Structure 1
Amino acid sequence: MRTLEQRLAKVDTVLTRLGLPSSQNRGEGFTPHREPTALKSKLSDVLITDQRIHSADYSIPFLSGQGQKWIQLAGEEAAQSSSLGSSGHSQIDPSNFTTLPDKVVVQQCFQQYKTSRWAEMFPVFREDSFSATVDKAYGQPVCTASQACVHALCIASPMFHWHSQERPPAIHSADTAIVHLLMPHLLVGRPSLELVQTLVLLTVRTFTLGSFEGIDMYLCLAARALSVLGAHLQPPSDSAEQEKHIYRDLFWIVHVLDVDHAIRSGRPPVISDAWCDLTLPPGRWPSYDNRRVRYPLDLHLNLIKSQAYTKLYSLESLEKSDAELLKDIRLLDKALEDWRMSLPSDIRPALTYREDCSAPGPLEEGLVFLCLEYHRCVSSIHQAVTRVARSVGHEDAVSSSLNIAIDATRSTLLYFRDQHRYLTRALFWLWSSYPITALLMLFTEAMSNTGSSGCSDDSQCSRDLAMAQDVVDALREVGNAATDHSPRLQKLTRFLEEILSIARVLGAEAYAAAAKREYEMLGQEPVL
């Protein structure tokens, strides 16, 4: 009994410190539900987790920092919540099968990163945080995540000094193997900043090498780790300034890569926008600095891409009526045009790129990507109109959207043909999707219009075929230099050449059919 009284006295002391009513000052007439709002507020203070779940009433109650303090004071031992969710495997010493690169080499790799444009496009590191990562990687006790991050930086370092005329340097196979060996030990513990940085570097490297099979897993792991760390939400106001920026930078990098990969592959995106705070970074032009693009892509354009993919190509979108689909196309087109007009005039993509257009050079590579991305986005938005039936009342809207989609496709091919020399050869598999997608779109349009008056415009067909041949030749030339005549590239170019051959046959047949109809109307035999 004496022990129980001592425990109750200790609980009263803790409640008093936390500002909650103790058993001594409640009074005999105390009713627990007399002040539900105040009690609910106090419970929320104790139960809300640092994961920033907004209401204790409609979520699983996690212990906040204040709740952990209450347990520590009441039980006279620290609340070790992190150990409860850890299997302990993350503490395995990987020194038996890993060898860290020389510390000087790591510092050189980081300096290359800092002085390259990759630091702007992919702001993965901050100098202070990386210094701490290096200290933990080479210190004691062993930090597996920090060691993996150091190896990942070495893997990615050849990218930091790629130039337009250089081939991709060979990747250190030992570092790649070590990161893969470390990965199982990283995934059983609580995610860390170093784990996310490692996954992002591996994702970017996989993107640039065109090894798209592994991107799904890297993106899934990185996105889930970021959500556990709370990076999908705005950081608390009392967070350190460096911490605020680095987690949100990593979130935006993963979001951009996720949307882009989903569109390329036709798979669902990993990140659900409905669960994320998509407030853009502060500043009028958060993505630009002296005509250089920050992040892999303009963040506002990235959000429009994400909305377009979800609203026009998701499983749910297939259930929409024609009117709903046309409305979404119209709204997305307006949002895209508002974004385009909001850009400074010197970096604003042209509404349509013509053969007689001249762009000031030399162009910054990020701006070339921006224009290619804009035209592809226009095409993908309006291409969705092919699902709309050409019924009465919709014919004009359908025809207009189809014309816009084809016009954007031609703009993509023309712009690529004229400006591809500003694109880094080592990133061939990254930017080659723009002309390839446009070529397939143009081919699909030719197939759908076979035998109609749309294909009987011999002059336009001839211009399209000539332009397409120039693009395929450019892809072959740059691809051979960048990939050392890889078998994969040879298959790709053979496929594109076959498409061009079929398109030429279709064009010739359409022209012959149109000529025959014209002569039949005149009562004459066509001369072909």
Structure 2
Amino acid sequence: MTRKKRACDSCHRRKIQCDGVLPQCNFCFHNGVTCTFSRILGARKRTPKPSGNSDKDLARRIERIELALDAAQKNLAARILESREADGSETTSPSASSYHPNGQTGDSATASNNATTPDGHKNTGEGLSPATTARKARSAGRPKSSNFGTLHFAGFHVGEISSCNGIPFFSPNGQNWIRSRTGQDPTFEKLLATGPPWHSTKENHAPLRPDDNVCVTTWELPDKALVESCVRAYCSSSFGHAFPIVEPEEFQTTLDLAYEDEGSPLTIEATSAKACLFAFMTFVHHSRMEHVGEIGIDGQLYMSKAWQLIPQIMHQVDVPSFQTLFMLCMSSMFMGDFQRGSVVHALACRVLFMLGGHAQPSQRSTTNNAVYRAERNKWLESHLRQMFWMTYTLDKEVSVRTGLPPSIEDDYCDLTLPQAHRDPQLMVREGAGSLSNTDSTRRAWLGTFPTTLPGDLTLTIIKSKTYRALYSTAALRKSDAELLRDIRELDEELERWRCSVPQPFRPALAFSEDAASSIDKDMDRHIIMKKSIIHFEYHYLSAAIHRASGRCSVWAGGEGVSSSVAITVQASRSTLIYLRAAADGITETAFWLVVFYPMSATLTLFCNILLDPCNAQAEDDLDLLCTIPSLIMSIKKSPLTAKEQAYFQEVNEFFAELTRLARCAIDRISPMRDTEAAMELD
């Protein structure tokens, strides 16, 4: 009886025509893969594609993850049982073999303990069962370190997406994978040579000291009336609403101290006040607020002066010292200088801890706060907590963008949210307001909101949990079952947060082109910006949670947690579609903070095109990638600096190469797809 012709496993998975030649078909022969026919035959019902906004979507998503979790647990138990039989080890429980006191996994601990045989000869691994050998190979391939920016996609360590300018760096394995999927050599040499700023000795930042002529009058203060005018503009602006680091009455005391006896020798208190004043003028300059640009502030000059005073203000632990460090950090971020910003941010965190801002008033140590015991009052307590939440939010952003560990450890902080922040109608009231009213009405309106940062505090806490559970050093030692369990729990928590957000601000599970028309571009820009940041944060966090499944060892066997990959891709696609719809409402000040999101999403979509170029969405995703450079450039409306011009040139070169490689991957598979279609017609 003639054998019915059918496609091999590789051709069937890629949905391409298989010639069925034995022992190796044409596709497997030219790609150097084993030609197998081991899949189970049988008709498979097509399941309807779930809609992105279905109420049952979360239940389906959790069910898929639970199935993968159950399979991983069974696989772990089977491997442990086989290991006992093969190695003759004593009976241990799965939990006991998962960890080792010195940080090794159970497998690596067994290998180290059995480094020599009873007769004194070293164990070279010969005679081990195939399953044990495969397990050791998978363990050896595990990453040694990880962070929020590390991208594992479908079992491959593709590279890093946490560079300070947002442009990804492909690992050697990632470049080899790209080469195997496209048939082309990626040309990212220039970008790879640049690296993060702390890996480069090139002087590409502004000097810490001004030029010699300026140093003669380095402590000369700006006109006091000019500073007071800037304070009024700041406090009545949406920028001051988003970053309320300075309060008018409290800051007036700082100004009076800075301008007091300008000609006399500087005391520590006066030095701290002057540094705070210089940092504030720099902060205002980079805010690009209305009317401030007309004044003509020399932001770089004031920044240089503030930097010179940092060694002196370290002797004074007070609120102005913290404000100085925080505003210098934010100014550096607005300039795209994440290296310097992350360093001064760490200093700001330590000063805030000494002030006791990380704890509630009743929990603070009086020893750390002796300087301020005499002037504690209700306002100061509230302001310290407000400064803590600003610093906490910034800390997680710095960690995400640099790939470095956070400076604030959650276990040592009181993360009780402000009472009003838990009001579910907070954002609805916020969206109903208008910043176009008079100053008095505006301040009354702004005063109704206790948390004013562009993002959401609950979402920031979930982000911190995600870093610890999935991307910390301890997370790298987790088994597949533990990793998938954490992914499921974080996904559930993220979905609970999403459902708690009032409808006008609630991010969609999948943001489509049809939903883009729902963005009200007539709202105040601050409201649009807050809504945009919430959407970007949600979709990025959803992708980051499920992207961690790419580290699972099940991918080594050709299978993986496909549902998590699909969620990662959809979240990244939603980020880019939302950017295209809301780019006009994004403030120029936030350019360097926002640009990270599309760059991260771009790499995920690119990898998905390479993984499955036959996907019906591949062409649309490629078209979407082609529009991103112009969207990023549209956010910058003022004349570009030399650094920004160089950055945009790098972005254009990166996207040109990315889209070229994606096109090669699609075109490479097209002839096979066309041949299959022609044969079906025959």
What is the TM-score with the length of structure 2 in the denominator? 0.58
Q: Which deviates more, 272-281 or 425-434? A: 425-434
Q: 2:562 and 2:321 mapped to 1: Cα distance?
A: 49
Q: 1:273 and 1:316 mapped to 2: Cα distance?
A: 16
Q: Counterpart of 2:347 in structure 1: which amino acid?
A: L
Which residue of the other structure, out of 439, 444, 454, is the alignment partner of 1:296?
454
1:273 aligns with 2:410: yes
Quick check: 1:148–1:182 contact (8 Å CA) kept in 2? yes
Which residue of the other structure, out of 512, 526, 533, is the alignment partner of 1:354?
512
Q: Which deviates more, 205-214 or 421-430? A: 421-430
Quick check: 2:470–2:486 contact (8 Å CA) kept in 1? yes
Give 1:170 shift. Answer: 7.1
Show structure 1 runs of 5+ residues with no match.
1-93
1:306 aligns with 2:446: no
Give 1:223 shift. Answer: 0.4
Q: Indicate the RMSD between aligned Cα atoms, in angstroms.
A: 2.8
Which residue of the other structure, out of 320, 332, 348, is the alignment partner of 1:222?
348
Distance 1:308 1:106, change over 3 A: same
Give 1:119 shift. Answer: 1.9
1:173 aligns with 2:309: no
Distance 1:479 1:129, change over 3 A: closer
Quick check: 1:312–1:384 contact (8 Å CA) kept in 2? yes
Which residue of the other structure, out of 139, 162, 166, is the alignment partner of 2:289?
162
Residues 117-153 of structure 1 show CA distances to partners (whole Å, capped at 9, x for unaligned) of 1222111022221121112212257411111111111
Give 1:161 shift. Answer: 4.5
In the other structure, the counterpart of 2:328 is 202
Quick check: 2:285–2:299 contact (8 Å CA) kept in 1? no
Q: 2:283 aligns to what SS in structure 1?
A: helix
Q: 1:210 and 1:144 mapped to 2: Cα distance?
A: 28
Which residue of the other structure, out of 368, 384, 394, is the alignment partner of 2:548?
384
1:403 aligns with 2:566: yes
1:421 aligns with 2:579: no
Give 1:516 shift. Answer: 4.1
Q: 2:553 aligns to what SS in structure 1?
A: coil
Q: 1:410 and 1:516 mapped to 2: Cα distance?
A: 30
In the other structure, the counterpart of 1:105 is 226
Residues 6-44 of structure 1 show CA distances to partners (whole Å, capped at 9, x for unaligned) of xxxxxxxxxxxxxxxxxxxxxxxxxxxxxxxxxxxxxxx
Give 1:391 shift. Answer: 7.2
In the other structure, the counterpart of 1:36 is none
Q: 2:405 aligns to what SS in structure 1?
A: coil
Residues 353-383 of structure 1 show CA distances to partners (whole Å, capped at 9, x for unaligned) of 0111122312521111111111111111111
Q: 2:627 and 2:306 mapped to 1: Cα distance?
A: 42
In the other structure, the counterpart of 1:26 is none
Distance 1:158 1:314, change over 3 A: same
Q: 1:230 and 1:491 mapped to 2: Cα distance?
A: 43
Distance 1:395 1:265, change over 3 A: same
Quick check: 2:286–2:299 contact (8 Å CA) kept in 1? no
Quick check: 1:253–1:296 contact (8 Å CA) kept in 2? no
Q: 2:639 and 2:586 mapped to 1: Cα distance?
A: 11
Q: Counterpart of 2:224 in structure 1: which amino acid?
A: K
Which residue of the other structure, out of 388, 393, 404, is the alignment partner of 1:251?
388
Distance 1:360 1:476, change over 3 A: closer
Q: 2:220 and 2:556 mapped to 1: Cα distance?
A: 70
Q: 1:455 aligns to what SS in structure 2?
A: coil
Q: 1:392 and 1:503 mapped to 2: Cα distance?
A: 24
Give 1:322 shift. Answer: 0.6
Q: 1:254 aligns to what SS in structure 2?
A: helix
In the other structure, the counterpart of 1:19 is none
Give 1:434 shift. Answer: 1.1
Q: Counterpart of 1:468 in structure 2: which amino acid?
A: L
Residues 320-367 of structure 1 show CA distances to partners (whole Å, capped at 9, x for unaligned) of 011111111111111111111111111111121011112231252111
Q: 1:233 aligns to what SS in structure 2?
A: coil
Give 1:171 shift. Answer: 4.5
Q: Which deviates more, 404-413 or 293-302? A: 293-302
1:146 aligns with 2:258: no
In the other structure, the counterpart of 2:489 is 331
Give 1:226 shift. Answer: 0.6
Q: Counterpart of 1:173 in structure 2: which amino acid?
A: Q
Q: 1:181 and 1:138 mapped to 2: Cα distance?
A: 18
Residues 49-78 of structure 1 show CA distances to partners (whole Å, capped at 9, x for unaligned) of xxxxxxxxxxxxxxxxxxxxxxxxxxxxxx
Quick check: 1:226–1:232 contact (8 Å CA) kept in 2? yes
Q: 2:607 and 2:348 mapped to 1: Cα distance?
A: 36
In the other structure, the counterpart of 1:63 is none
Q: 2:255 and 2:512 mapped to 1: Cα distance?
A: 51
Distance 1:191 1:513, change over 3 A: farther
In the other structure, the counterpart of 1:119 is 240
Quick check: 1:137–1:144 contact (8 Å CA) kept in 2? yes
Which residue of the other structure, out of 322, 326, 329, is the alignment partner of 2:480?
322
In the other structure, the counterpart of 2:63 is none
Quick check: 1:476–1:493 contact (8 Å CA) kept in 2? no
Equivalences, count? 420
Give 1:424 shift. Answer: 1.2
Identity of aligned residues (%): 32
